[in-house]
């Protein structure tokens, strides 16, 4: 991939770019001067459906098209990475910025977060960890739009009170176990968007879950029964789960 070029897998759609059933690819800016690190990252990100623009210096990053997500290395050849972070935060205030760097000292982490980064990841890191960090940052950004000031997400007949861990259907409260609530909350973050099984296990249980695989099916069946609407939690065989229409 040429520096500055944009790479995308058009048939894919990143689940983090979805809002209430409407999906589009997420524009991601990768600021990394080491091609050995950038190459595998780009391959992985494109395979997940991101539109990736790769640049190797701070000036190019500041001239880039408005990204929705930035992965920013601090060790750049021209500008200080902290200053680039600060200026990007000013230029694209709604973008999520994740610092990816070898600088792991506490002072460096504090400086990065104070400059406007949403998260700070120290090299070396695994791609699955980076994915989890992206999901967490995007989830916070998305939920701030979808949930009101009281922490309530209104999905029509289904209402989720994320602050009090309460769920109601047609105004009647539904008693859910903690895992059932976490599963429903995850699906409700992106209604209409399919979430693969591994992501569900990573988010609701644990990335290192080694329990019975039928656990998910049991929880889905119980959740459907308690909600009283089987078609609200949809299973796409061999793919994953999604929250259907609840209006």
- pLDDT tens for the 247 residues of the chain, in order: 555 555 544 433 343 444 333 345 788 999 999 999 999 999 999 988 889 999 999 999 999 988 989 999 999 999 999 999 999 999 988 889 999 999 999 999 999 999 999 999 999 999 988 988 888 887 666 655 466 777 888 889 999 998 899 999 999 999 999 999 999 999 988 788 888 888 888 888 876 667 777 889 999 999 999 999 989 999 988 888 999 988 8
Domain extents in the chain? 6-144, 149-243
**CATH fold match for the domains 6-144 and 149-243:** no
Classify domain 149-243 at the CATH class level: mainly alpha
Candidates 188, 194, 183, 200; CA nearest to 156 is: 188
Report the C-alpha gap between 207 and 184 in whole angstroms.
18
Q: Is 96 helix (H, G, I), strand (E, B) or coil?
A: strand
Q: What is the CATH number of domain 6-144?
A: 3.40.50.2300
Q: What predicted TM-score, i.e. pTM, was given to this entire model?
A: 0.59
Residues whose CB falls within 8 Å of the CB of residue 177, separated by 6 or more in sequence, listed in order: 222
Q: Is 210 helix (H, G, I), strand (E, B) or coil?
A: coil
Q: Is 121 helix (H, G, I), strand (E, B) or coil?
A: strand
């Amino acid at each position: 991939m040429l520096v500055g070029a944009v790479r995308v897998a058009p048939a894919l759609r990143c689940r983090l770019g979805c809002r209430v059933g409407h999906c589009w690819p997420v524009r991601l800016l990768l600021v990394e001067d080491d091609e050995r690190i950038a190459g595998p990252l780009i391959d992985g990100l494109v395979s997940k459906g991101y539109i990736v623009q790769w640049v190797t210096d701070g000036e190019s990053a500041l001239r880039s098209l408005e990204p929705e997500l930035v992965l920013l290395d601090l060790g750049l050849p021209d500008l200080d990475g902290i200053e680039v972070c600060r200026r990007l935060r000013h230029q694209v205030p709604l973008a999520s910025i994740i610092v990816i760097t070898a600088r792991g000292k506490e002072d460096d982490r504090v400086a990065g977060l104070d400059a406007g980064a949403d998260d700070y990841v120290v090299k070396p890191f695994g791609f699955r960890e980076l994915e989890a960090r992206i999901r967490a940052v995007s989830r916070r950004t998305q939920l701030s739009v979808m949930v009101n000031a009281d922490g309530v997400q209104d999905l029509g007949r289904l209402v989720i009170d994320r602050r009090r861990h309460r769920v109601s259907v047609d105004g009647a409260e539904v008693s859910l176990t903690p895992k059932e609530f976490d599963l429903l909350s995850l699906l409700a973050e992106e209604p209409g968007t399919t979430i693969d099984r591994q992501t569900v296990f990573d988010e609701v249980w644990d990335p290192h879950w080694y329990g019975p695989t039928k656990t998910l099916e049991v929880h889905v069946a119980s959740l459907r029964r308690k909600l009283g609407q089987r078609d609200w939690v949809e299973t796409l065989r061999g793919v994953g789960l999604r929250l259907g229409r609840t209006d």
